[in-house]
Amino acid sequence: MSSGATKVEMRGITKRFPGLVANDGINLTLKEGEILALLGENGAGKSTLMNILFGLYQPDEGEILIGGKPTAIQGPKTAIRLGLGMVHQHFKLVQPFTVTENIILGLEPKQRLSIHYRKAEQQVAELSDRYGLRVDPKAKIQDISVGMQQRVEILKTLYRGADILIFDEPTAVLTPQEIQELIEIMRKLVAEGKSIILITHKLKEIMAIADRVTVIRRGKVIDSLNVSETNPDELAAKMVGRQVSFKRDKKPASPGQPVLIVDKIVAHAASGARVLDEVSLAVRSGEILGIAGVDGNGQ
């Protein structure tokens, strides 16, 4: 765990929406060079709190300190100027553009009156190599994997000078191998002096990568703990407010006859890309059929 200087402090943050208190007097601290997990169920108020930190929402009460200084973050431009970067769960990339064009959008290096693409590609390549992101600066977004698109979002924040990175449910769209690669990227980022807030509800990932964890339930902070001094059972109980059993006694299934048959279904997106490629399945009476896949795989 980092014992560095305090990078971010949120004091008494309250945010109300009609009929809902999303954040209720929340205190949160991020230290230099640490990974802080923000843990809570869906709807607990995690993303709202980070949207306030990134300037997308304004708090109704409370204050934010960056580097010990009280700061009014009036919008994302202010946040970026203060060294904050946010990797959103749903990427904000222009599909027909190249990796470099997406990264430099709004900050294009100029050569006389034209954009200096060669210089930009070189800068992107250098950043990619430094942090082990392995992204091709010339590739088009529509031609690369979801995991690689996430790396482009990370590069966008680094290109803009971020040293505090907010990751919003970053593993929701990744395969197990990509999750492991993302964990390695996060380790490299903090080794280079970056600080990370990780929004998640996945206990396994918190235990694998985070230094500290702040648990939010129904808009309130329940506890903040060192990850080395807790365990998944304790975190789950704090997250949902009761003891949670991870063991399930299931009887062997005895399904009946098929009640739904899907045979070689093909579907195309508006772009013409094939999103379902001769998919077949059967659902039988008395069973629950799971359809698994990371975002963007057609499920």
pLDDT at 111: 55
Tens digits of residue pLDDT in 66-88 = 999 999 999 999 999 999 999 98
> Does 1 reside within a domain?
no
For residue 120, the SS3 value is helix
Distance CA 165, CA 260 (A): 46
Q: Can you give the CATH number for the domain in which 165 is found?
A: 3.40.50.300
Of the three residues 240, 261, 283, the one that is the final residue of a domain is 240
pLDDT at 246: 64
Distance CA 276, CA 22 (A): 38
Tens digits of residue pLDDT in 120-168 = 888 889 889 888 888 888 889 888 888 899 999 999 999 898 999 999 9
In the chain, how many domains are there?
Answer: 2
Q: Are 188 and 290 members of one domain?
A: no
Distance CA 299, CA 291 (A): 7
pLDDT at 39: 94
Write out the two tokens for 167: 């990751």
> Does 200 reside within a domain?
yes
Say if CB 190 and CB 157 are below 8 A apart. Answer: no
Say if CB 28 and CB 216 are below 8 A apart. Answer: no
> Does 109 reside within a domain?
yes
Q: Are 141 and 268 members of one domain?
A: no
Q: Are 212 and 287 members of one domain?
A: no
Say what the pTM is. Answer: 0.81
- Domain range for residue 257? 250-299
Q: Are 143 and 265 members of one domain?
A: no
Q: Are 133 and 255 members of one domain?
A: no
Of the three residues 207, 240, 273, the one that is the final residue of a domain is 240
What single string gives the DSSP state of each residue in 22-47? EEEEEEEEEETT-EEEEE--TTSSHH
> Does 245 reside within a domain?
no
Q: Are 138 and 285 members of one domain?
A: no
Q: Are 231 and 265 members of one domain?
A: no
The segments of the chain whose pLDDT lies below 70 read 1-3, 107-116, 244-246, 295-296
